[in-house]
Structures are given as C-alpha cells and as structure tokens.
C-alpha cells in the first residue's frame, strides 16, 4: 500500500512570501501551487505515522478500502524540500533574505496552502533520517498537529530534553514498513527489556580530527592521533525473538525469515530468531529480570529487547509510567509492530564493491585488470583480476543459455506472483526464454551490470549481511554463575561457558562463497582505509553455536566486546549491513594497507 504525498520546493514556495510585521507570511493558492510542486505526486510506502494520521481523520476503527493508493493524506501532510536554502552563504543579500523567509515557516505562522480542498494552515512536523540527509521536512495541517503528536508520543508529556534525539525518535514513525497487527505482541510478559552489557577497551589507538577552536562558521580541521579508553555498549540495537513467535510474524509476512528489523513506538532495532525457550530450559534458567527489576517466567517471554533499542525509557520514567503503562498506551492509540527489513531467503555468493572501497585499496593495474586482456571477456583465461566477475556476469547474461534460464528458475518465488509463473513456464518449456518478456528482462539486467561497471561498482565474491554481536554470548549472560543445577543443566552450562567467541574472528553461518582463512569486512559509507577490518573465518565452530545459530544465514557475528563495530565507521547492530568479502585480490590489498606497503 502506498500514500500519495506532495513534494514542494521551499525555494519556489518562498516566492509567495510577503512581509508581515517582524516576519514573513507565505500563502499559496491553487494556481501558485503548480509552480511549487516538484513532482505531480510522491507515492510513499505505509508507515506508523500515516496510520496514526488516518486514525485522527477517520477514527480508531477505520478500515482501509481495497486500494493500492491512499489519497486521504494528500491535503493533510506534505514534504518540503529545503535544498539550496540553508546551505547557501548568508553573507549574500539574496540568500540572507531567502533564509529569513524560510525561518518564518518554523514560527506559528507556518504556511497556508490550498491543495484543492480549501485553504489550510500547515506547520513544521517530523522527518526521517533519510529526509534529514536530503534537507526534507514534513509539514502537517495545524488543526490535527497536537492530536497526532499526542498519539506518537503515547500521551507522554515531554518537556526538557535533547531536541535532536526527540526529533530523531519521532522520525522513526516515518520509516517505511509492513504493519503486523493482531499477533498479541502486547500480551503481558511477551516483550521484555534488559540492560546492555558494557565493556571498556583501555589504551586504544584512536585517529580522529579536531577543529581549530574558533567560532567561525568555516573552521579548519586537523588529524589527531592519541591513545585513550573506548567504552563499548554490547549488543547495541539488537535483541532476540523466540522460534515460536517468529513463526507467527512469518505467517503474517508470507515468508520464512530469521532476522527482522522492527519498529515500535520509541523502539527500533534488529531481532534475531533463536530457540530461546530450549536454551534457557537446558540451562536451568526459569526467570528473566528486566531493567525495572521485574521478573518474568521464561515460558512467557518471546522477545528480549536491549535497553539501547528502547529510546523512550527516560521519558517513560519522567512520566512515572511503567512497562505495563507503555502497552496500555500502545493499545489505546492503536499502534502495532512494523517490519522495515527482513533476512534474505538464501545466502549470497557475490556482493558489490563501489568506488569508495576501490579508492582506499593499494592496488596495481594488473590486479584491477591485466593490460594484455582483450576488451571482450576472455572465457578461457584462468587468471584472476578484480573486474573478472563483473565481466563474467555480463557475458553470461548475453550469451550463456543455461545461465539465462537459471536467472529465472533458480530463485524462490511466492506462489501467485508474476515471477512465480514466469519460472513455471520456463520449467515447462525452456524455449520460451526467447520471448520478449524474458529477453527484455535479461537485456535490462545486462545493461545495469554494464552501467555499474562504468561507475566502479564491481561484483566480487562475498555477501552482504546484518551485523550482529555474538548472540550465543548474549544468551549466556542470562545464566547465573552460581545456581543449583542437575547433571544435564551442569553439562549444558559448562558447554556454554566453553563456547567463548574466538578473538579476531567472525561467524557467518552457511557462507555460499569460496573463501580462505580471512575475509575483509566493509561498510557503507566508507571513507578511509582505517575502516577496513580483516578477520579470520570462525575456526572449528562449536556444536552449541551450530545448534542455536547456524540458521541465521543473513547475519555476520563478531565478538561483542571487540572494537570491530567501532572500526567499521561506528557501526552498531540495529540493522547495519556489512559486506563480507572473500575476493583474494581485495584481501591482499587490505593486508597490504595494514602493513603500509604501496605497490
């Protein structure tokens, strides 16, 4: 389901700003609106905020009509594009006045616009992280502003706070996702919040930058190297979900996923499916204690969140609200679980390098592509070079009949989808591969590979997975060191203690690509070679780790108390994707970087 939302250019809107006392007043009628629209209409995926606005407009018991496009919000909320406004030099009189006009939009005057249903006043509202990066802000109709705000804040009074955090957390409501309702997630004890583990790495080499200390709008920065202690927040942004409750969600989603990127009011992060009931039963753990000191029977718990996932903890306490009060407000305002990302169906064999990664590799010309190669793909050349897999992919898409067939028949598709029937037709009669519906798709894919090649986006052996800390270590932390145990529980406890995560290693279950003993881990955005991390493939995976974690085929796990996440551009575990690359040339170049050897 999508909503029709209008995008307006602020620079165009400000052409209709007129002086009004100390500020400016912006009024845009139906005729003026046409010149302010960036596109005819913007279609956005469903999200929690839009659902709450619909509740305000139509009541809590409203039902969506069977329509793929909802137009009810077209004159209720719009997106304002502030690009080329506040990023311009205000010393120029034109831009100074432009910014003064734009600032008036943030006062209680807002902006008055007629979208076709009469003139309404709109005031500045929320924005998601991606909107912030693109200088976009939503504006909502003034008459429903406080009603919607009350709902997304769960009725809490938020007074003194760090505004940037409040806006960031409210902006989570704009994250696109699939609403999963009617699963009883609000059942008492089903979801609990526990403390994050903490660790300090002392005497660590840190490379950073510092400014010149001036108050000038443009300052000079210089590189600084020092040694200091670094605090690590364990399992930042991730938790676990039981095997049984993951099945309930998968039934709603229509798939078989083992990792879920979730959104709840003031809650965000990743949940990884583990058979927690079996683990705790085997370990003799009957009760779990949350951050409020309340005990919960393990049998009643299906989701364990870490405190860092719950962004509203402080505000809940300020309002003298308990965890039960949170769920009361959750039900009162008709909130639900939203899934904004899920694990892939099967592991990848290849991933993509981009020009940012290429720029930091110490590589020779022959490692990139030998000079004696022809411009066409040399099928019988046994040498390896960095662009080889990209060239091979293009060649296969254009000339390899079996590969062209497998492009459609290899992936799994849900029954009833177009891709499902295309696959079934080819399985019945492969000669249909020459039909335009297939040929056009193959041609389009080949052209995309060619374009990516030109932009420095190369196919290499590896995959792209969710970054996670050692989840076995997370479960192990709930087992008390001293407790009465029977023989079976004592043996299980000893096995858990001995399953310490290997240092300087990573665990990626069911790797589909060929690899040596080491792989390189990279994350977007990639700025410098200091953000390249090379780790060993996990040696001799313990039986307990295999039993409880081997099904997490879209996760790459690292030691929770290491600096791996920090080195990967300050990554955390709330859904950050990491490229695990086994390509021998990339690994050789990264090793060359670490030894400060330049070819």
Give every residue of the chain whose pLDDT is below 70, as ranges: 40, 595-599
Q: What is the CA radius of gyration of the chain?
A: 27
Contact residues for 351 (Cβ-Cβ < 8 A; gap 6+): 459, 460, 462, 463, 464, 579, 580, 581
The neighbouring-strand residues paired with 240 are 272, 304
Does residue 50 contact residue 177 with C-beta atoms inside 8 Å? Answer: no
Instruction: Please calculate the CA angle 239-341-563 and round it to the nearest 5 degrees.
Output: 50
pLDDT value of residue 427: 93
Report how far residue 363's alpha carbon sits from residue 589's, in angstroms, rounded to the nearest whole number: 6
Q: Contact at 8 Å (CB) between 17 and 104?
A: yes
Contact 512, 469 (CB under 8 A): no
Give the integer Cα–Cα distance in Å for 73 and 54.
8
Instruction: Characterize the bridge pairing of strands 337-342 and 505-507.
Output: unpaired
* pLDDT tens per residue across span 248-289: 999 999 889 999 999 999 999 999 999 999 999 999 999 999
pLDDT at 482: 87
Q: Side-chain half-sphere of 28: how many Cα atoms within 13 Å?
A: 27
What is the pLDDT, as a whole number, of residue 308? Answer: 96
pLDDT tens digits, 366-400: 999 999 999 888 888 999 999 999 999 999 999 99
Name the nearest CA neighbour of 267 among 216, 306, 217, 319.
306
522/516 Cα distance (integer angstroms): 17
Helical residues (DSSP H) of 64-152, grouped into ranges: 93-104, 129-133, 142-152
What secondary structure letter does DSSP report for 195? P
Give pLDDT, residue 158: 86
Decide: 403 and 473 in contact? Cβ < 8 Å. Answer: no
CB atoms within 10 A of CB 163: 9
Terminal-residue alpha carbon distance, the chain: 53
Q: What is the pLDDT of residue 599?
A: 47
User: Which of 98, 76, 79 is CA-nearest to residue 88?
Assistant: 98
Global confidence as pTM? 0.91
The secondary structure of residue 63, as a DSSP letter, is: -
Cβ partners under 8 Å of residue 23, min gap 6: 104, 107, 109
What is the predicted pLDDT for the residue at 495?
Answer: 93
pLDDT value, residue 22: 85
Within 10-135, residue ranges assigned H as helices are 10-13, 30-36, 48-58, 93-104, 129-133
pLDDT at 595: 65
């Amino acid at each position: 389901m999508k909503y029709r939302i209008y995008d307006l250019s602020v620079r165009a809107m400000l052409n209709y700003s007129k002086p009004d006392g100390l500020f400016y007043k912006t009024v845009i009628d139906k005729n003026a609106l046409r010149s302010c629209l960036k596109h005819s209409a913007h279609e956005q995926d469903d999200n929690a905020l839009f659902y709450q606005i619909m509740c305000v407009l139509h009541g809590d018991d409203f039902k969506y009509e069977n329509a793929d496009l909802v137009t009810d919000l077209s004159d209720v909320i719009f997106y304002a594009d502030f690009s080329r406004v506040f990023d311009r030099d205000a010393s120029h009189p034109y831009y100074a006045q432009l910014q003064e006009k734009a600032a008036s939009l943030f006062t209680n005057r807002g902006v008055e616009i007629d979208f076709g249903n009469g003139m309404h006043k709109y005031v500045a509202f929320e924005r998601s992280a991606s909107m912030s990066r693109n200088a976009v802000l939503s504006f909502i109709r003034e008459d429903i502003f406080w009603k919607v705000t009350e709902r997304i804040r769960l009725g809490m009074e938020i007074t003194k706070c760090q505004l940037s955090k409040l806006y960031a957390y409210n902006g989570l409501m704009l994250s696109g996702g699939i609403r999963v309702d009617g699963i009883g997630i609000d059942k008492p004890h089903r979801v609990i919040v526990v403390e994050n583990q903490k660790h300090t790495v002392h005497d660590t080499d840190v490379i950073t930058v510092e400014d010149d200390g001036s108050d000038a709008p443009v300052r000079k920065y210089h590189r600084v190297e020092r040694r200091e202690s670094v605090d690590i927040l364990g399992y930042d942004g991730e938790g676990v979900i039981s095997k049984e409750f993951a099945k309930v969600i998968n039934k709603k989603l229509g798939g078989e996923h083992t990792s879920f990127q979730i959104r709840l009011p003031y809650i965000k992060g990743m949940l990884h499916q583990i058979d927690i009931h079996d683990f705790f039963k085997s370990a003799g753990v009957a009760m779990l204690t949350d951050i409020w000191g309340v005990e919960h029977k393990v049998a009643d718990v299906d989701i364990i969140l870490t405190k860092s996932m719950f962004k509203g903890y402080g505000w809940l306490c300020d309002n003298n609200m308990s965890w039960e009060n949170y769920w009361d407000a959750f039900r009162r305002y008709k909130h639900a679980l939203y899934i904004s990302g899920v694990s892939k169906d099967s592991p990848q064999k290849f991933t993509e390098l981009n020009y940012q990664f290429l720029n930091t590799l110490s590589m020779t010309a022959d490692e990139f592509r030998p000079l004696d190669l022809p411009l066409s793909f040399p099928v019988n050349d046994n040498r390896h070079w960095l662009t080889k897999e990209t060239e091979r992919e293009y060649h296969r898409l254009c000339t390899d009949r079996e590969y062209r067939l497998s492009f459609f028949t290899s992936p799994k598709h849900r029954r009833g989808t177009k891709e499902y029937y295309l696959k079934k037709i080819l399985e019945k009669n492969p000669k249909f591969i020459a039909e335009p519906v297939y040929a056009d798709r193959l041609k389009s894919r080949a052209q995309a590979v060619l374009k990516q090649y030109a932009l420095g986006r190369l196919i290499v052996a590896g995959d792209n997975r969710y970054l996670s800390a050692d989840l076995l270590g997370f479960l192990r932390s709930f087992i008390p060191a001293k407790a009465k145990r029977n023989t079976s529980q004592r043996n299980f406890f000893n096995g858990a203690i001995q399953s310490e995560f290997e240092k300087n290693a990573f665990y990626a279950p069911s790797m589909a690509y060929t690899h040596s003993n080491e792989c390189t881990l990279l994350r977007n955005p990639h700025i410098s070679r200091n953000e390249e991390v090379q780790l060993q493939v996990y040696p001799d995976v313990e039986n307990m780790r295999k039993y409880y974690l081997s099904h997490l085929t879209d996760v790459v796990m690292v030691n929770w108390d290491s600096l791996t996440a920090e080195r990967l551009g300050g990554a955390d575990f709330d859904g950050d994707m990491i490229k695990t690359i086994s390509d021998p040339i990339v690994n050789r170049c990264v090793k060359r970087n670490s030894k400060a050897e330049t070819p």
